[in-house]
Chain A
Amino acid sequence: DAGITQSPRHKVTETGTPVTLRCHQTENHRYMYWYRQDPGHGLRLIHYSYGVKDTDKGEVSDGYSVSRSKTEDFLLTLESATSSQTSVYFCAISESSQMNTEAFFGQGTRLTVV
């Protein structure tokens, strides 16, 4: 399996608190992605990164920010968590942005905002 570690794996937090999820890779892949998965919606792209300090928004980026200061780490921050952000979050990596490049996914982080 590709070396992708998400932390924490589970988290319960209160509405209004900041939360940071971490994705760490050991593959030295250039591209990293954050998705959320909710029942009936499949996976939706939140943000992605195409290099250190280079990030861009996905389809559901409102309420989320990201940072990538090192190739191996991609952080997803919820500045002020809301109940609508209760979800399972997946990180993914790929070597290039070309569609014929396989993407590898982490095991997910289950976040509950109460």
Chain B
Amino acid sequence: LAKTTQPISMDSYEGQEVNITCSHNNIATNDYITWYQQFPSQGPRFIIQGYKTKVTNEVASLFIPADRKSSTLSLPRVSLSDTAVYYCLVGGSARQLTFGSGTQLTVLP
């Protein structure tokens, strides 16, 4: 299993772009990179997933460099409601859906 490392916490202000980087140095060829978001007292929710280069959806963008040893989740113009824990997952199988401690993002007014 590819081990992931991400910052424990980050603070930002409303309207700013937030970038959360995840390191996964031993990522395997078949592994995908997936990000989940979790609000207090709720289960995690899928945000975005990618294999290489850049992926964008209505919520976020995911940047993956060519060596795939890291990835960056980008949240454009965050609001207070984006305050949550963000998890980076790496794996080739959902049986290996392993969550670390995640990054607590706090958006300040």
Contact = CB atoms under 8 A, between A and B. Distances in A.
Interface stretch (A11-19, A69-77, A78-86, A97-105): A97-105
Nearest to B44: A105
Q: How large is the interface on B (under 10, 10 to 19, 20 to 34, 35 or more residues)?
A: 20 to 34
B95 A48 contact: yes
A22 interface: no
A99 B102 contact: no
Nearest to A102: B46
Contact of A42 (B30, B91, B102): B102
B94 A96 contact: yes
B32 A103 contact: no
Interface residue tally of chain A, by bracket?
20 to 34
Contacts, number: 64
Contact of A40 (B32, B41, B101): B101
B49 interface: yes
Contact of B97 (A41, A45, A50, A56): A45
B94 A97 contact: yes
Contacts of A107: 41-43
B92 A105 contact: no
Contact of A99 (B42, B44, B94, B99): B94
B99 A42 contact: yes
Interface of B: 30-32, 34, 41-46, 49, 51, 87, 91-102
3 tightest A-B contacts by CB?
A: A105-B43, A43-B99, A42-B99
Interface of A: 31, 33, 35, 40-45, 48, 50, 56, 59, 90, 92, 94, 96-108
